[in-house]
Structure 1
Amino acid sequence: MSIALTFLFLLLVFASSHSIPLGSTLHASDRHHSWHSPNSAFSVSFIPAATPGSFLSAILFSNTVSIWSPGTVDSGGSLRLLRSGSLRLVNSSGATVWDSGSGNQGVTSATLEDSGNLVLRSHRNKTVWSSFAHPSSVIVPTQRFTVGMSLRSGSYSFHLTEEGSLNLKWNNSIVYWSQELNIPNLNLSSPSFVLERNGVASIFDSVLLNGVVTSIRSNDYGEGNDVFRFLKLEEDGNLRIYSVSTGSEIQTQTWVAVADQCQVFGFCGNFGICRYDGFFPICECPSENFVPIDVNDMRKGCKRKVELEDCPSNLGMLDLNNTRFLTYPPEVSAQRFTLGTEACRAICLVDSLCFASVLMADGSGICFQKLSGFVSGYKSPSVPSTSSLKVCKPVLPYSTVKKSDERWLIHALIIALAVIAVVFCLAAIVGVLWCCCCRDSLKFGALSSHHTLLEYASSAPLRFSYKELQRCTKGFKEKLGVGGFGTVYKGVLVNRTVVAVKRLEGIEQGEKQFRTEVATIGSTHHLNLVRLIGFCSQGRHRLLVYEFMKNGSLDNFLFDTESGTLLNWEYRFSIAIGTAKAILYLHEECSNCIVHCDIKPENILLDENFNAKVSDFGLAKLMPSDKRNWNMSCVRGTRGYLAPEWVANLPITSNSDIYSYGMVLLEIVSGRRNFEVSEDTNYKKFSDWAYEEFDKGNIEVVLDKSLHGDETVDTEQVTRMVQASFWCIQKHPSHRPSMGKVVQMLEGIVEMTKPLAPTALVSESVTENR
């Protein structure tokens, strides 16, 4: 009997070894002392906070990931489990920062469970309080999130409604993101939201126990048994799912609620304008009529230099193009009208209650008049709206140059002028010496002055006369092809260099302007761009001289089945990467962004080693403004490559090139035109049919049949290219990745989620030019 009692006593002691007794205390200054879960995966401890000298009290996973926190304290603070049963966070002064409110309710102990739930229990093992029932900003697997609970981070909160919808709110009022049940008209008596261990989020009925899976799932769902996933509302107002492998400190984002961070209401504070600088959202003030509230933290927003009440008779409207003030429901402070641009801003100007207006240029013609509240702006070339703010005159444009930089700019200008003067002097000296010594030499007699070795070495575009190019092409006899800007002929210069001469059509710019634009094109140098050797601007003649590409254009190898030529997979993948890097250079690495506007296989040339070289870049700048729209839609808007925003007459940006590249990428894989319709594709456009097969997991049917049996085919590369192509051809420009991201996708540097079905809105009536 005594042996049994002893065994029972030892069992009780072991079972309670992870229990936290009343009177226990954790000190912020003692980070080595923690309360642990039985499996040691979770702990209650202090970690350094963002503010120097402060410490965050938190439940941690793997000693690094905070899944629940009552707040921060100074270095003398502590977390105490009082003998009254209350869990309390206090500062060094003894002031209460947070309290569980469980005092005098029969709490006898606390336990940190293997799930990460911190539980206060009574002597009958009844739960009095738990961290799962009072979440802070994180939800972990098995934690039930119910109606009435909320995640909070700054001004943002996350809620579950009684109807089973998930909402993200700003200031507990404006809903800027909502996720509804994927089964309509389903009545739930007591909905709960749970993030499962496999990364799938579910809403189910706590009474009826009917699970309803939502469309929320991490892009690694179902993968790995040693992966810990958690959902977190962050201080930028976005909701994300992260994955952490056991033993690792790296948190990988696997799902995000608002893909476009600038669409989060209030991200840049009141009167703040959000825009993208590369991959990253940045905040700025609307104009010089405003100043930052905190220059060190632009997310705190801006304020007027002069308040409206201080200039009641001297008001004006500040127009912000490609800018939309976010208007999410239930923002009742915004009135709606159907008006034109001038009427929209004029009504606001004369209305003493209105301080901002937004004209939706999406075809609806809706004009929002903001009468009170918070102004959160989003600026992007792809945003069709125009917004206006009421300000005190004078209306000042936005300037990115700070006054503190003006002195630096003056010094830089003086240095630049000095360098230019020295270069001109040296050029003059060289010119005089050449005229004196070499002008009548037989060695140079056959070449005009601009063909000298010195000018070739300078890599600057050379100037040819029309007669010279007429002679070197034998009267424009041998045609290489016809492009969107004109016809290309083969030529041989007097120094035996084989070139391609393009006669531009519809170019009516003056000689000075033409040479300026050509100089810009000529200054672009990249391994995957066709080099511009020279030009001709004489009378009405406008010609460009390019290096000659021996293997012609890519379309000859993809679609000309009668030629008998075949590109193996290794060449195709190399061409796809090379083309992407060339477009990346034009978009992000040139001094000024160059939008190609006509990416297609005909403009991707191949040298003798089948290296891809993009041609016709920058020529859109040479088109006259009164003919540009006609040329873009009728001559250069090639069916199958034209981005939807062209047809919708929306602003054209680098995202338009990304759409065209995505179409080319799919053609490189398939060897078929995207707009091709046949019995094989169930009489659907090939690009639409290809996505359906991709969605079913049938990647192999998308691959060019001629590559079946090719040993160089890499299945992983094929999958990446097909997946990346569908990301590139998304209907909305903001959903497409940047070209830098595309290169990373193709090279396997970044993980890709499954793309949405791209909706092809390009009109079939657009004239084909091949």
Structure 2
Amino acid sequence: MDSKNGSPWWFMLPIFLLCSSLYTHLCLGTDKLDANRSISGNQTLTSLSGNFTLGFFSPGNSTYSYIGIWYNKISVQTVVWVANRDNPITDKQSTELKVSGGNLVIVNNSEVPVWSTNLTTTSSGSSSMVAVLDDDGNFALKVAPNSSVTLWQSFDYPTHTWLPGAKLGIDKRKNRSQILTSWKNAEDPSTGLFSLHLQTFSDGKYYVWWNGSNPYWTSGTWDNQTKIFSGVPEMRENTFYELKYVDNENESYFTYSNKISFNTISRFVMDLSGQIKQESWLPSQAWTLFWSKPSQQCDVYRLCGPFSVCSEQSEDSCSCLPGFSISSPMDWNRRDWSGGCKRNSNLNCAANAEKDRFWPMSNMKLRDAPQSLVAGSDQECRTACLSNCSCTAYAFEDNACSIWIGDLFNVEQLKQGTTPGTSFYVRLAASDIKDPSKKSNVTAIVAGSVSAMVGIFAIVSFAVWRWRRGATVTTKEVEGSLIAFAYRDLQVATKNFSEKLGGGGFGSVFKGTLPDSSHIAVKKLESISQGEKQFRMEVSTIGTIQHVNLVRLRGFCSEGDKRLLVYDFMPNGSLDYHLFHRNDSKTLDWKTRYQIALGTARGLAYLHEKCRDCIIHCDIKPENILLDADFCPEVADFGLAKLVGRDFSRVLTTMRGTRGYLAPEWISGVAITVKADVYSYGMMLFEFVSGRRNLELSENGAIEFFPTWAASKIAEGGDLLDLLDPDLEKNADTEELNRICRVACWCVQDEETHRPSMGLVVQVLEGLLDVNLPRIPRALQMLLDNQEHVVFFTESSSSNQNSQTNSNTSTSSLQNPNSSSSMKSES
């Protein structure tokens, strides 16, 4: 017998047989479990719109399996909830998740429960129960398929992730809290040491706890008007989710939802690092961090375990003290440092045994309070520690003796150039500290003779080599990796400063070559009046700042009144050369321009938001954006504002930035903030689009100010490809072009409070956030409304382009004579 559409009945037989099996993965591609259906092995549930998947998973290289929920539409498996986090299974093929006896249960092949919802509901009617995976990531057990009665839901029992729509707070009726708790390590989702709680009777204040006993960070109180926590000022920049606080007699909780205008995946995570993090999924297929608290990794209580040191300067946050080794290398590889370190040799407190010794540790921060002892000298303090078998370290500073008893926790290695820390002595077994006095006389004599011969040979070789080369570069490593160069050697390296690369208000830059044939850029600083000690301190601070989009400082020279900085040489020079000097360079394509704009924004965001001390650049312009061999941008001169300080009144001509990029507040004389850099960056973005200076003479002699034209075009919704550099022949991603034009207009708003932060700019350019249509800045609007009255003052046409190259003598200012406010730059 044929079907209605003419197909033979046997044509449908394979499909019928396939779907007749309750255990077939394809047929289980549904969002529900009922009494007649279970999942095991590789079978999964998927929410109706495909947002989330539920099934068995094994994190990393783990041999254990768990029932979990993860995002279905992103390329990296990211688990948001785990059912049996503390009860893993070893064989997922013989283990089932099902609805049974009025509960959701995980049972092994012997029908022994591994995990259960533990409801006390009577089993009557349990045959109609259904568990549904919703599109918000909630897994809910309901009385019946179409019932609104929820018996149990995963949102009430979060693990380490807080999803939009879920509550995170306190149920006062049931005396139960929703708590976020970290994983133990990257391959073990079991209950970790760090948790986030809403504090009872706290006016909406969260705490992060270590092991449920020591709170080490608080969100601060909730402001219902500004919708931010006092301890999380980064929330001011939030534009894509809304947080809501509810407090009544039955419950206190927060919940949040994504704003409708943003199709962005967002989540809050209690990370195994001990930090609460807000992350969003980027179109570039990666999670990006919006903020984390505590912002400093080493502020996490007992992150590194006993006898280990936390450092913000290394990729691995924790390392062992001298004389100690990692207790569990496997856990450390999985980012679980809580086991800390163990002694290489046991201490010996026996009366006649060789006494233990001490190893000095400098520039450290010990967060755990010591015991105070009365001691008149360092030796007395040392003896007091040795006399106590439980004493593991001591310090003697400012005539005060402190000792630490038992395991040492919360030790931090401070960054170079920061406020000096504590020097203390860690106690080690005598065998772990080599005593040079124990060497035999024969060994000492042989070693001394060999050393003398090697020294003589080295001196002779050095003399011959220097004679042949005529000179060398004498260096001395200081403050980490920075090199102190001799002035004479930099003269030789730069051929007496003969090959000039560029210059500006801070000084001129010259190309140099070191004896190992590596190229450097040497900047001779002007108007730097600090003494040598202060200059070295400031330079060492700048030298610790490392970012892929910031030019690396290799070293410096400070001799007498001579101040020089030595950088890596950038083979593709500065951005202005590629944007404005078309006869000498190839046109930058749109993709390269966009990546340069994004990289520059990332570098500035790092200076403004990630450094220990906020650094305002004060002179953002194409001349200060250097390009490496792959056209990756690196912001240059970012440390010069710090070197000279922020009192610019005495050096107006060199420290007011560059005309054409100056924010209005420079002119009004108010205090400068990071938003001055944002304004300069916005002006530079217009030049990325047009491929020309913002202010220049047209072919017919008229003066054109590109930002005014661009702002009007953007406001009118015109074709933005008309703004594009003609040499690109309209070859640009229109979405990126629209994004970059809107960002530029927001960055040059008259009021600094209306400008975005550089962190927000990065997120927009990465495609993480949409950007609304900007208003036309008031100064640009005046130019549009009064075009017949606008007078442009420029320097001579012949010097226009040349002066722009060195940029502190750049082109022009513009002023509306009919208005009391102006944007005229000062020289």
Task: State the TM-score, normalizing by the size of structure 2.
Answer: 0.48
1:26 aligns with 2:60: no
Tell me, what secondary structure is at the counterpart of 1:73? coil
Alignment partner of 2:363 out of 307, 322, 328: 322
Alignment partner of 1:284 out of 306, 319, 322: 319
Alignment partner of 2:116 out of 94, 99, 114: 99
What number of residue pairs does the alignment pair up?
521
Q: What one-letter code is carried by the residue in structure 1 that aligns with 2:321?
A: P
Alignment partner of 2:655 out of 663, 670, 673: 673
Shift of residue 59 of structure 1? 1.0
Shift of residue 254 of structure 1? 2.2
1:554-569 mapped onto 2 (5 Å cutoff): 554-555=504-505
Q: Contact (CA 8 Å) 1:18, 1:38: kept in 2 or not? A: yes
Aligned pair in 2 of structure 1 residues 49, 110: CA closer, same or farther (>3 Å)?
Answer: same
Tell me, what secondary structure is at the counterpart of 2:492? strand
Q: What one-letter code is carried by the residue in structure 2 that aligns with 1:379?
A: Q
Aligned residue for 2:672?
A: 689
Alignment partner of 2:472 out of 461, 464, 467: 461
Shift of residue 389 of structure 1? 5.6
Aligned residue for 2:162?
A: 139
Shift of residue 461 of structure 1? 2.6
Q: Contact (CA 8 Å) 1:261, 1:281: kept in 2 or not? A: no
Q: What one-letter code is carried by the residue in structure 2 that aligns with 1:53?
A: T
Aligned residue for 1:36?
A: 46
Tell me, what secondary structure is at the counterpart of 1:391? strand
Aligned pair in 2 of structure 1 residues 182, 391: CA closer, same or farther (>3 Å)?
Answer: same
Provide structure 1 residue ranges, at least 5 long, that are not aligned to the other structure.
1-15, 187-194, 328-332, 400-413, 432-448, 463-514, 536-543, 559-574, 613-642, 646-656, 724-736, 753-770
Q: Contact (CA 8 Å) 1:531, 1:546: kept in 2 or not? A: no
1:86 aligns with 2:44: no
Q: Contact (CA 8 Å) 2:370, 2:404: kept in 1 or not? A: yes
Shift of residue 115 of structure 1? 1.2
Question: Residue by residue, what CA displacement relative to the aligned partner does 1:331-380 show, whole Å, maximum 9, x if unpaired?
Answer: xx75589999959965972784654467899xxx9987654566132113
In 1, Cα distance between the equivalents of 2:59 and 2:219? 32
Aligned pair in 2 of structure 1 residues 661, 681: CA closer, same or farther (>3 Å)?
Answer: closer
Alignment partner of 1:181 out of 208, 213, 221: 221
In 2, Cα distance between the equivalents of 1:360 and 1:98? 56
Aligned pair in 2 of structure 1 residues 235, 324: CA closer, same or farther (>3 Å)?
Answer: same
In 2, Cα distance between the equivalents of 1:203 and 1:345? 55
Question: Residue by residue, what CA displacement relative to the aligned partner does 1:446-485 show, whole Å, maximum 9, x if unpaired?
Answer: xxx95xxx737xxx539xxxxxxxxxxxxxxxxxxxxxxx
Q: Contact (CA 8 Å) 1:242, 1:255: kept in 2 or not? A: yes
Aligned residue for 1:57?
A: 67
Aligned pair in 2 of structure 1 residues 345, 140: CA closer, same or farther (>3 Å)?
Answer: farther
Q: What one-letter code is carried by the residue in structure 1 that aligns with 2:135?
A: D
Shift of residue 237 of structure 1? 1.7
Aligned residue for 1:385?
A: 421
Aligned residue for 2:246?
A: 205
In 2, Cα distance between the equivalents of 1:605 and 1:17? 63
Tell me, what secondary structure is at the counterpart of 1:532? helix
In 2, Cα distance between the equivalents of 1:525 and 1:264? 36
Aligned residue for 1:157?
A: 195
Q: What one-letter code is carried by the residue in structure 2 that aligns with 1:139?
A: W
1:275 aligns with 2:311: yes
Aligned residue for 1:506?
A: none
In 1, Cα distance between the equivalents of 2:768 and 2:490? 37
Aligned residue for 1:568?
A: none
Q: Contact (CA 8 Å) 1:318, 1:395: kept in 2 or not? A: no
In 1, Cα distance between the equivalents of 2:430 and 2:325? 15
In 2, Cα distance between the equivalents of 1:658 and 1:343? 46
Q: Contact (CA 8 Å) 1:317, 1:395: kept in 2 or not? A: no
Tell me, what secondary structure is at the counterpart of 1:547? coil
Aligned residue for 2:89?
A: 73
In 2, Cα distance between the equivalents of 1:158 and 1:350? 41
Question: Residue by residue, what CA displacement relative to the aligned partner does 1:290-324 show, whole Å, maximum 9, x if unpaired?
Answer: 23212454423112244557457845554321222
In 1, Cα distance between the equivalents of 2:385 and 2:64? 48
Aligned residue for 2:301?
A: 265
1:395-544 mapped onto 2 (5 Å cutoff): 396=432, 455=469, 461=472, 517=476, 532-534=490-492
Shift of residue 167 of structure 1? 1.6
Aligned residue for 1:167?
A: 207
Alignment partner of 1:243 out of 280, 296, 301: 280
Alignment partner of 1:110 out of 111, 114, 131: 131
Stretch deviating more after TM superposition (171-180 or 314-323) = 314-323
Shift of residue 281 of structure 1? 3.0
Aligned pair in 2 of structure 1 residues 253, 337: CA closer, same or farther (>3 Å)?
Answer: farther
In 2, Cα distance between the equivalents of 1:257 and 1:34? 35
Question: Residue by residue, what CA displacement relative to the aligned partner does 1:530-560 show, whole Å, maximum 9, x if unpaired?
Answer: 983539xxxxxxxx973325588522789xx
Shift of residue 578 of structure 1? 14
Tell me, what secondary structure is at the counterpart of 1:375? coil
Shift of residue 96 of structure 1? 4.3
1:229 aligns with 2:250: no
Shift of residue 144 of structure 1? 0.7
Aligned pair in 2 of structure 1 residues 294, 235: CA closer, same or farther (>3 Å)?
Answer: same
Tell me, what secondary structure is at the counterpart of 1:251? strand
Stretch deviating more after TM superposition (225-234 or 176-185) = 176-185
Q: What one-letter code is carried by the residue in structure 1 that aligns with 2:139?
A: L
Q: What one-letter code is carried by the residue in structure 2 that aligns with 1:73?
A: I
Aligned pair in 2 of structure 1 residues 129, 338: CA closer, same or farther (>3 Å)?
Answer: farther
Q: Contact (CA 8 Å) 1:357, 1:389: kept in 2 or not? A: yes
Tell me, what secondary structure is at the counterpart of 1:115? coil
In 2, Cα distance between the equivalents of 1:339 and 1:679? 59
Provide structure 2 residue ranges, at least 5 long, that are not aligned to the other structure.
1-28, 171-176, 183-191, 227-234, 436-449, 509-520, 526-538, 575-611, 615-636, 697-704, 708-724, 726-736, 748-757, 770-827
Q: What one-letter code is carried by the residue in structure 2 that aligns with 1:532?
A: L
In 2, Cα distance between the equivalents of 1:310 and 1:344? 18
Aligned pair in 2 of structure 1 residues 679, 52: CA closer, same or farther (>3 Å)?
Answer: closer
Aligned pair in 2 of structure 1 residues 321, 102: CA closer, same or farther (>3 Å)?
Answer: same
Aligned residue for 1:45?
A: 55
Question: Residue by residue, what CA displacement relative to the aligned partner does 1:198-235 show, whole Å, maximum 9, x if unpaired?
Answer: 65463512439999999x99xxx969622111111222
Aligned pair in 2 of structure 1 residues 212, 703: CA closer, same or farther (>3 Å)?
Answer: farther
Stretch deviating more after TM superposition (64-73 or 304-313) = 304-313
Question: Residue by residue, what CA displacement relative to the aligned partner does 1:418-472 show, whole Å, maximum 9, x if unpaired?
Answer: 9x999999997xx9xxxxxxxxxxxxxxxxx95xxx737xxx539xxxxxxxxxx
Shift of residue 36 of structure 1? 2.2
Aligned pair in 2 of structure 1 residues 251, 681: CA closer, same or farther (>3 Å)?
Answer: closer
Aligned residue for 1:547?
A: 497
Tell me, what secondary structure is at the counterpart of 2:298? helix
Stretch deviating more after TM superposition (42-51 or 371-380) = 371-380
Aligned pair in 2 of structure 1 residues 337, 392: CA closer, same or farther (>3 Å)?
Answer: closer
In 2, Cα distance between the equivalents of 1:588 and 1:595? 16
In 2, Cα distance between the equivalents of 1:213 and 1:82? 31
Aligned residue for 2:711?
A: none
1:596 aligns with 2:540: no
Shift of residue 658 of structure 1? 6.3
Shift of residue 180 of structure 1? 0.9
Task: State the TM-score, normalizing by the size of structure 1.
Answer: 0.52
Q: Contact (CA 8 Å) 1:287, 1:398: kept in 2 or not? A: no
Aligned residue for 1:375?
A: 409
- Please tell me the root mean square deviation across aligned C-alpha atoms, in Å: 6.7
Aligned pair in 2 of structure 1 residues 65, 680: CA closer, same or farther (>3 Å)?
Answer: closer
Shift of residue 719 of structure 1? 8.7
Aligned residue for 1:349?
A: 385
Q: What one-letter code is carried by the residue in structure 1 that aligns with 2:504?
A: L
Percent identity between the two aligned chains: 16
In 1, Cα distance between the equivalents of 2:668 and 2:372? 41
Shift of residue 68 of structure 1? 0.5
Aligned residue for 2:589?
A: none
